Structure 1
Amino acid sequence: MKILVLYPYVPWPLDRGTFQRTFHLLKRIATRHEVDFVAFSEPDGSEESKKEVFEEFCQSVELLPFQHPEWQKLFPNRLFNPLPTNVQYWQQSKIASFIDQKIEQEVYDLVHLCDLVLMPYIFKHRDNVPFVVDRSRVDLQFQLMEHQNLRFSTRQKLLRYESYAKLWFYERKLAKHTLQEIVCGPDDKSFIHKYIDRVAPVLVVANGVDLEYFHPDAVDEQRDPDPTIMFCGAMDYSPNVDALKWFFGEVYAKLIKRVSSLKILIVGRSPIPEIQAYDSLQGVTVTGRVPDVRPYYRRAWLQIVPLRIGGGTRLKIVESLAIGTPVISTTIGAQGLDLKHGRQILLADDASAFVEETVRAIEDEALRMNLESEGMSVANERFGWKAIGDRLAEHYENLI
């Protein structure tokens, strides 16, 4: 099959969760099919050198310099524009012309889009070539969960209500016309079928992990002698910021009182000032961007995932399982992974339970060893990118 793959970014280096998903799925699809890859790149041309990474497995690679338009003001443009604001933010006429020409000149069996923000570029061609959309999250679900957990001014709420209405209609349009929506977990699928379109063609393709890279023996690092927990992720991403705000507001003081020698590592790029401030607390280290996250996984006794805003699945969890670091998570944080509490993961949804499960795991070495063993086993059985990507590539063959 000949497939056109369109991404709104260049997923390299693999320093964020969405990049890992989109890169590995692209690589496996290109192994089974002939792929022309088109991605938006920084307008200064700084990412042009990344082409060779993708040329190793794609038939052709085009990196298109892209500049976001300004966010539209409510009057006069935004209010009367049927596109949701987050979709309009990804539109550029030059890129639309390039894609039009590409589809008119080539014969594709399928177009694979990354997230619904790219649908306007291909929608006009839907009668000539079918398209599928891989979704790192369901946008409407994500925004509604943000609304539930974050604080917004009255003006912000009004703007968001306007966005929700447009986004719901747009989600309906996607569900009606796409050959397949690909989501990260069953919670995403249930949301689409309950709130958007009960017969939408939705396929769950869970996030995975590079089992060789995140192997316990891939780095020479030992567990810290003192009890150590970590949180890993982009530290300017609102669900992660909210998770840590809840953890330090509701859990931290009770936890440090129970385990006074506890060390907490906050590992990830671009920490905002609110995150950086946690570095002054007892036992807390905010690392910022690190060249390799694996040594921190190996140092930590546990990884905490106190997320309250869901959508998609958490790569930090499958990485942690694969490398042998037990995980304590909220149910929302672990959604879509089908992990068993007490066997492959510990689940806690309120502050008291989160404290108790963390202390229990710190004090019970046998429990940690069992979680480590079971976690690595399930990661190897179900979450390797090669197997996940090959199943998707085969599914495309059956669709067409």
Structure 2
Amino acid sequence: MKLLVIYPYAPWPLDRGTYQRTFHLLKSLAAHHEVDLIALVEKDEDTTEKHAIFSGFCRSVEFVPFEHPTWQKLIPTRLLNPLPANVQHWQQPEIKEAVDRHLQPGRYDLVHICDLVMMPYVLPHRHHTPFVVDRSRVDLQFQLMEQGTLNLPPREKLLRWEALAKLWFYERKLAREAKLEVVCGPDDETFLHARVSKKAPVMVVANGVDLDYFQPAAAPDPRDAEPTVIFCGAMDYSPNVDALRWFFGGGIHDRLLKKLPGVKTLIVGKNPIDEVKAYGSRPGVIVTGGVPDVRPYYRRSWIQMVPLRIGGGTRLKIVESLAIGTPVVSTSIGAQGLELQHGHDVLLADTEEAFASGIARALTDGDLRTSLEENGIATANQRFGWPAIGTRLARRYESLLSAEPTTSAVAHGSLA
């Protein structure tokens, strides 16, 4: 098959969870099919390294410079625009020109886009070239969860409701027009069928892990001497910020310190906002900011905590942690879609007291940690390797077109 892949970013370096997913799925698709890539990059960015990386497995690579515009004002521009604000934000003539130039009838069998913000560019071509969308998160679900969790000021709430109304209609349009929606977990699939369209074509492709990269440490005991907890992720991402707000503001950290006064907490991830940086003044808390390699931080930590309250998709931090051998204590929302078993390869807790107790239990019970570590490594190796996940997706794409005439044959009239 000939695929055109369109990304709203060039996923390299792999310093964000979404980059991990989109990079490895792209690489796997390219191992099975001929792939041309169009990706947006920052204006004036040096793309030499990125071009070399993606040219290593894609047939052709085109980067389109993109500069984030200012967000539209509600009145009159945004209110009168039928597109949801988050979709309109990504519209740019140069991107349309590049997509139109590539998407000539008969040139590709299928278009793979990342997230619904790219849909306006492929809709005009859907009658001669079908498209699928890989969703790092379901936008409507994510925004509804943010709305119900975050304490937003009145003006922001008004903007959110305006966006939600348009987004619901746009999600329904996507469900009608896309050949397939690829989502991260069963919860995403359930949401789409319950809240958007029962007929939406959906495939669950859980996030995976690079098993060669995230290997357990060769040394027998690389852990810090003191009980150490890690939380890993982009620290300007609202679900991660909210998770830390719950952990510290909800009293979980205080409860933990009472149980284990010497516990250390590592907050590891790029772009920490001021609120996150301020947690570094608390006892035993270290905010690292971005790091060149997260693996040493995983390996020195006794456990990873995932106190997420806003879900949608699945959490790469969990599968990375399992693969490298760092046990995980998570909320149910944080671990959704991964089908992990409480007490076997993860500990799950959803209240402040239960979450603090779960962390304390894992830190003080060496046999439990060993069991979680061994079972987590086995689970990661059995279920979450990217090549197997990508192969399944590539085969599904083949089956989408196997029961109907190819687009190239139709375009040239050979089946008329």
Q: TM-score, normalised by structure 2?
A: 0.94
Number of the residue aligned with 1:321:
322
Deviation at 1:154, TM superposition (A): 1.3
Give yes or no for the alignment of 1:61 onto 2:58.
Answer: no
Number of the residue aligned with 1:198:
198
Equivalent residues in 2 for 1:239-258 (5 A)?
Answer: 239-250=239-250, 251-258=252-259
Q: Distance in 1 between matches of 2:333 and 2:219?
A: 30
Aligned partner letter, 2:260: V
- Between 1:165-174 and 1:68-77, the stretch displaced more is 68-77
Q: Distance in 1 between matches of 2:52 and 2:221?
A: 32
Aligned partner letter, 1:359: A
Number of the residue aligned with 2:208:
208
Deviation at 1:10, TM superposition (A): 0.6
Q: Distance in 2 between matches of 1:61 and 1:244?
A: 38
Give yes or no for the alignment of 1:37 onto 2:27.
Answer: no
Deviation at 1:74, TM superposition (A): 1.3
- Between 1:105-114 and 1:366-375, the stretch displaced more is 105-114
Contact 1:48 1:63 (8 Å CA) reproduced: no
SS in 2 for 1:20: helix
Give yes or no for the alignment of 1:311 onto 2:312.
Answer: yes
Deviation at 1:91, TM superposition (A): 0.4
Give yes or no for the alignment of 1:298 onto 2:299.
Answer: yes
Aligned partner letter, 2:113: L
Contact 1:224 1:299 (8 Å CA) reproduced: yes
Number of the residue aligned with 2:101:
101
Deviation at 1:151, TM superposition (A): 1.4
Q: Distance in 2 between matches of 1:336 and 1:126?
A: 30
Number of the residue aligned with 1:346:
347
Q: TM-score, normalised by structure 1?
A: 0.98
Aligned partner letter, 1:71: W
Contact 1:219 1:295 (8 Å CA) reproduced: no
Unmatched segments (≥5 aa) in structure 1: none
Deviation at 1:47, TM superposition (A): 2.4
1:343-385 residue CA offsets vs partner (Å, 9 max, x unmatched):
0000000001011111111111000000000000000000000
Number of the residue aligned with 1:3:
3
Number of the residue aligned with 1:228:
228
Q: Distance in 1 between matches of 2:354 and 2:170?
A: 39
SS in 2 for 1:369: helix
Aligned partner letter, 1:384: G
Q: Distance in 2 between matches of 1:354 and 1:71?
A: 38
Number of the residue aligned with 1:272:
273
SS in 2 for 1:271: coil
Number of the residue aligned with 1:49:
49
Q: Distance in 1 between matches of 2:353 and 2:71?
A: 42
Deviation at 1:71, TM superposition (A): 1.1
Deviation at 1:262, TM superposition (A): 0.4
Equivalent residues in 2 for 1:170-181 (5 A)?
Answer: 170-181=170-181
Aligned partner letter, 2:355: F
Q: 1:7 to 1:218 in 2, by over 3 A?
A: farther
Contact 2:243 2:309 (8 Å CA) reproduced: yes
Number of the residue aligned with 2:410:
none
Q: Distance in 1 between matches of 2:177 and 2:105?
A: 23
- Between 1:209-218 and 1:53-62, the stretch displaced more is 209-218
1:155-187 residue CA offsets vs partner (Å, 9 max, x unmatched):
111111110000000000000010000000000
Contact 1:229 1:303 (8 Å CA) reproduced: yes
Deviation at 1:16, TM superposition (A): 0.5
Deviation at 1:217, TM superposition (A): 3.3
1:222-261 residue CA offsets vs partner (Å, 9 max, x unmatched):
1011111110000110000000010011201111011011
**Deviation beyond 6 Å, 4+ runs, structure 1:** 218-221
SS in 2 for 1:6: strand
Q: Distance in 1 between matches of 2:281 and 2:5?
A: 45
Deviation at 1:105, TM superposition (A): 6.9
SS in 2 for 1:78: helix
Number of the residue aligned with 1:74:
74
Contact 1:68 1:91 (8 Å CA) reproduced: no
Contact 1:175 1:201 (8 Å CA) reproduced: yes
- Between 1:311-320 and 1:93-102, the stretch displaced more is 93-102
- Between 1:251-260 and 1:213-222, the stretch displaced more is 213-222
Q: Distance in 1 between matches of 2:278 and 2:291?
A: 18
1:200-236 residue CA offsets vs partner (Å, 9 max, x unmatched):
0000000000001000137897101111111000011
SS in 1 for 2:103: helix
Q: 1:109 to 1:30 in 2, by over 3 A?
A: same
SS in 2 for 1:198: coil
Q: Distance in 2 between matches of 1:108 and 1:7?
A: 16
Contact 1:11 1:23 (8 Å CA) reproduced: yes
Give yes or no for the alignment of 1:375 onto 2:376.
Answer: yes
Number of the residue aligned with 2:238:
238
Unmatched segments (≥5 aa) in structure 2: 402-416
Give yes or no for the alignment of 1:138 onto 2:152.
Answer: no
Aligned partner letter, 1:242: D
Q: Distance in 1 between matches of 2:220 and 2:112?
A: 39
SS in 1 for 2:288: strand
Q: 1:221 to 1:15 in 2, by over 3 A?
A: farther
1:124-181 residue CA offsets vs partner (Å, 9 max, x unmatched):
1110100000000000000111111111121111111110000000000000010000
Deviation at 1:41, TM superposition (A): 0.7
Identical positions, percent: 62
